[in-house]
Chain A
């Protein structure tokens, strides 16, 4: 009998199959432990574009704050009635997806990624940090990705650190350093990347110009005298071009199923004031044909007031922005020229600020498909458009604001820095007539990184929408 039982037991043990070792069983069949540089690069470009152009950071926040777009229903964000759970995606995707994936490339041994990959990764990481500090202020930078509770660095430390990072990125990038694949923006054209790096340095130089003019000047000179140059045509514009669903432009995807946004009345009125030929590009005619003209939606209205403007009687943003293949523009040639104009106006670099200003507007017209020289010169010659050397901030600020249409985060930052055009908070806004000056830190910072968070706000000021950031002097 015992023998029989022993047989049965043996049979049962074979039946449950011990052919796999316990280690084999615990090998994850669902994902890989081996990342590859080109795939990570494609991923960060796509996800970075989604982050910059998508709903949360763009058309549901910054585009409303700068009054490019307006909400016609669910107007809470347009009235700044938001909480510290509203601005989490820039932080979370910025850090845990973009910066983490880019750090993976940067930390690869040379056999896994040549120095061009690393230069590109460092550039994109600098762009991500720039978005983060522009929006939140003090942020974890030096300890980001290195500590479980990283300390926050001041905005000044972040900007100056990024200038150094970009200098290093520039030195890593060299056409001789090997090919790059997976680059959906510049298709592996390293010369363009080098121009993009210098343009980012120029952008940062101006960010700190009101606080650290000497450092700003040096950075502007470094950026513009580097042999690689800055973005030099609309072909150099740093943009991510979408394809078809489900890889379509995020704004296009949104409008496919929802109808929440209109072009802002502020923008429409400004374009009308300047007889700006970009109006038909930026806006659609209302669906109710009897209206017959472009009508912007008011910002900061109560839900019912917004609703009562009529869904059919107001203009949606232009189809240029709402087709599935619409690009996510991240750094335009036009912006480069505006930045050069301002650097010249500030005396950081040589050059004719007025001419650069005109070139910048022209580049913007070209970007939106307006190339008729007469139309452009007629526009430029208007008194309201003409460059005002006495108040370059007004001229550049206003035109940059128009040219940035759709690029909410940068439009928001540059509007805070240049203080033009003058915007007025909508009637139902909740900040006692003020417009936000920053994003809230994600509420989770209080629970997950409390000590660092408390230290940061004790330096920067209360974690409020209206707290002014370091770069934003006025």
Chain B
């Protein structure tokens, strides 16, 4: 694999030199030599290997079949020096023609080549920072429909949060949140083209909110060759203002390594099941105070408008129900009524690619189709990717190429989102639920429902109240590589990422709460263009020193536009047009543009192949900043020292030892239009225009943000590469942050833009790779990573008046950046406690809320870890990935609601004598415990509970509550629903079989493999009940909040890959 990677990465560079070097060869005598260079282990030809005749300047490079040809004045025998990156240098004495030369792969860190900023390949040993890469099989074989999910647990310092269900967005954070208010996700660069990863939404929590996928999920993992993570400013400094949160570099497959015509077919199927449904109780059904009888579902019967399960025992007693037309029928549990609502999701994924290359050109053409039928009924996403990647050598010094990726996504219906939206929320209706409800009765007739006060039938919602999404996207570039002189090259590229994203929201006429229905259209256009030119210069200065320098420019233009229109009430049913409206349309539109000019340079000075110094510098001019602060410069420096070479420490134990370190500074600009305070227009009233404050006070004196990062690391390999160890420590300070701080509205504004905040992140990352057992046929390898990030919000404003910045809010809990605290504090209401920590209850026996809100936790985990074990026996490979996130808290709206409504199994204790409930009778309205026997004629209840607390005078609480009162008592006390988000997940088990080449050839194939993967299989450990603690509303910074989220899914997939 490494060999192919190397050849692919280096070929573009080598190709340029083929013609040039051939031209330089001026033979004196017409003597010929033909030969082939092959890999000693696989016997596969090596493309692009350099062959020099020792003692001359005469050199050639192998072609696509690994062949080379000499015309030389030298006479046999003579010595050839054969080099190829990743292989041991070979000196071969040639005395026959033709000749075959075998190269042995160099099994150490000295030769590893990695992709760095701007797509420049460098020897890993020369870098003063850590990078980590994943290969195609790590991404493609997982069959995740959002490929970011397949990164979970595989990369140190990278945190992935999958927000909702099986069609949702995923958030990626590298080395913690370094921006208090802004985007914290890394920049994505595909084949040199920066691409957009927004999660667009103008109607958050709006009429039918959905968790729209983040835009990077459009990429098809089958097309990805490698994914390299530049983990922070040190690695990414050349990307300038966009580097502060790291960069994910994606290289897509090309035809370069394909000799002749190759066709690859890939076909996969994935089955998904809901895996994290809450645990429901099955003893008590719908109603209140133990009473229920259905007449009209909205208060006409006994508690039949109540959407809670505090009703009668489900013991088969006869009660009229929603489907029984007034007839009393058995009131019994339907334990799987929620589970049965969900389908088994199926995803079909098929792709074909054709690739070819020859001396002058190469191309790869791929088509991928993915059809996903989700676990929520009627949910469906279809996606088709067309990719082309082609290069052509137009003259001996100039090569041009083009890449294009056209992606069309068509989702007729996305699953109902997390918000408490009655017309579309899925889990909303199941957490406000009657546990006796027979879901089959609802499935059979969408016009009836178990409750008519608040909801329409859940199938009605799923099939009629739909949100569709259609996204058409083109990502591509044209590029040119030119050799200007020996060692001096020029690269030019102009790339674009352009897409339209249209959503249509339909709410059917007659939906409960939206009696006339509604229809809305929401359309986005996003355009990101980058044009860059880079000069590179490499020169061996003398025997000891080498220079590798670069200078370039970039022009970035970005725009996004939105147009939203809604018919708030339809005139006639089932016609979804904007003109079919009873009311004037509500509408909004916006356009946002920015431009950044950049110039940059870097230099790498190498000494004796074991000491390297790297310098970078960049200046940006951004349209979003005021003209006097528009230009900002930032430098970086890093170095590496290979101690094992420099000090000659190599031994049988130690193969390689390197230390590295660096310092960098990157700037960051603002969002567009943050300089001038504006007034908004609202819908005119009867011909009178309305203007009003935007409630945001902006800042005409903004400065760029600055992030400074120091990073040191150590890398070592032992026992002939059986153990590889890498540790990194970093410390990042981000300051002058552009913060739209929430201010008390009594300041005149809801928020004000300041330029002050400072946040510190520091952390450690460890990667460990080893092969405890390695025999000819069997190999056991372990890859483990650990990362710990600690953040601290140091300052919000320089006057120190502001202590808290509100990142987000849900269910009464704020997510804050709070001075002195780690980023992402959960801030909310706590129980009122006495000096010894007892919960204080009122005279009514109910717990009291402390009027002062408190920090109740943080969403950021203490550390992350992942361990992959891979067992390989001949062609069979079995691997397990376990990953863990330890520490951090989450506020669970699912538990809060489900406790209040009595649907959760956790509300069983105390409900009835069999669950430990106390016997009491009513003395007037006072619940009095039965001591011995109750007074004659008094009804005795067996669901008495006493809240564990003390009265204000310190005496223990003795006031009896009904279970219903007990479980509702803490609804407004956030502390009661804060859970540790620690989890250990069996993330992935994979079994792969690669058919041997000889077997494949017998079938007429070049190669074949079959892979079975199980993902998100089970929790080995978790604290938070009833939810997946790895969940969120969206990809924003307001994590640590959960409410009525869709269950995450467990996926099983089978994949077949055939190469012709």
Contact = CB atoms under 8 A, between A and B. Distances in A.
B424 to A, nearest CB: 15
Q: How large is the interface on A (under 10, 10 to 19, 20 to 34, 35 or more residues)?
A: 35 or more
A23 B621 CA distance: 11
Contact of B853 (A2, A15, A148, A446): A446
A25 B622 CA distance: 10
A446 B852 contact: yes
Contacts of B827: 447
Pick the most buried of B288, B745, B746, B843: most chain A CB atoms within 10 A of its CB.
Answer: B746
A5 B849 CA distance: 72
A31 B305 CA distance: 45
B693 A97 contact: yes
A279 interface: no
B305 A245 contact: no
Contact of A148 (B300, B494, B685, B752): B752
A311 B685 contact: no
Contact of A257 (B515, B750, B842): B515
B121 interface: no
Interface stretch (B671-679, B927-935, B988-996, B1043-1051): B671-679
A179 B1003 CA distance: 92
B693 A16 contact: no
Given A8-B480, A97-B695, A307-B306, A91 B814 contact: no
B851 A42 contact: no
A147 B748 CA distance: 8
Contact of B676 (A28, A36, A92, A95): A28
A30 B650 CA distance: 65
A99 interface: yes
B303 A308 contact: yes
Interface in A211-267: 243-247, 256-259
Nearest to A314: B299
B627 A23 contact: yes
Nearest to B812: A85
Given A30-B591, A35-B679, A99-B748, A246 B302 contact: no
B630 A22 contact: yes
A145 interface: yes
A33 interface: yes
A111 B933 CA distance: 85
Interface string B677-701: 1111111011011111111000000
Nearest to A29: B591
A243 B686 contact: yes
B484 A2 contact: yes
Given A304-B303, A311-B305, A443-B853, A139 B746 contact: yes
B180 to A, nearest CB: 15
A101 B692 contact: yes
Given A8-B492, A15-B494, A46-B690, A304 B306 contact: yes
B744 A97 contact: no
Interface stretch (B228-236, B581-589, B887-895): B581-589
Given A257-B515, A303-B288, A245 B583 contact: yes
Contacts of B843: 432
Interface residues of B, number: 103
B332 to A, nearest CB: 22
A127 B384 CA distance: 60
Interface in B558-596: 568-569, 582-584, 586, 589-595
A150 B801 CA distance: 11
Interface stretch (B90-98, B251-259, B634-642, B802-810): B802-810
B557 interface: yes
Contacts of A375: none
B975 to A, nearest CB: 13
Nearest to B678: A31
B594 A1 contact: no
B829 interface: yes
Contact of B683 (A9, A92, A247): A247
B531 A12 contact: yes
Given A43-B692, A101-B693, A450 B803 contact: yes
Pick the most buried of B492, B494, B747, B816: most chain A CB atoms within 10 A of its CB.
Answer: B747
A458 interface: no
B513 interface: yes
B925 A427 contact: yes
A447 B287 CA distance: 39
A127 B631 CA distance: 48
Interface in B616-649: 621-624, 627, 630
A277 interface: no
Contacts of B569: 245
A1 B299 contact: no
Contacts of B291: 304
A342 B194 CA distance: 73
A82 B691 CA distance: 33
A39 to B, nearest CB: 4
Contacts of A140: 744, 746
Contact of B672 (A26, A139, A311): A26
A81 B842 CA distance: 13
A16 B746 contact: no
Nearest to B289: A304
B54 interface: no
A423 interface: no
A371 interface: no
B687 to A, nearest CB: 10
A378 interface: no
A425 to B, nearest CB: 12
Interface in B796-828: 797, 799, 801-804, 806, 812, 814, 816, 818, 827
B512 to A, nearest CB: 9
Interface string B746-772: 111110100000000000000000000
B492 A30 contact: no
A19 to B, nearest CB: 11
Contacts of B592: 30
B507 to A, nearest CB: 11
A432 B842 contact: yes
B72 interface: no
Given A12-B494, A22-B621, A444 B453 contact: no
Interface in A118-145: 139-140, 144-145
A269 B677 CA distance: 53
A386 interface: no
Contacts of B746: 91, 95, 139-140, 144-145, 150, 449
A81 B848 CA distance: 11
B850 to A, nearest CB: 11
Interface in A13-27: 13, 15-16, 20, 22-23, 25-27
Interface string A67-87: 000001100000001111100
Contacts of A26: 594, 623-624, 672-673, 675
Contact of A83 (B676, B803, B806, B812): B812
Interface in A168-215: 182, 184
Contacts of A104: 693
A44 B693 CA distance: 10
A11 B925 CA distance: 87
A312 interface: yes
Nearest to B925: A427
Interface in B505-522: 513-515
Contacts of A259: 298, 453
B80 interface: no
Contacts of B802: 148-149, 448
B846 A36 contact: no
Contact of B595 (A22, A36, A245, A449): A22
A432 B555 CA distance: 67
A235 B49 CA distance: 96
Given A15-B494, A447-B806, 4 more contacts: A5-B484, A36-B691, A43-B690, A97-B695
5 contacts: A13-B555, A30-B590, A92-B745, A245-B569, A312-B300
Across chains A and B, which 5 residue pairs bring their CB atoms closest together, nearest first?
A304-B288, A145-B748, A39-B691, A31-B678, A96-B745
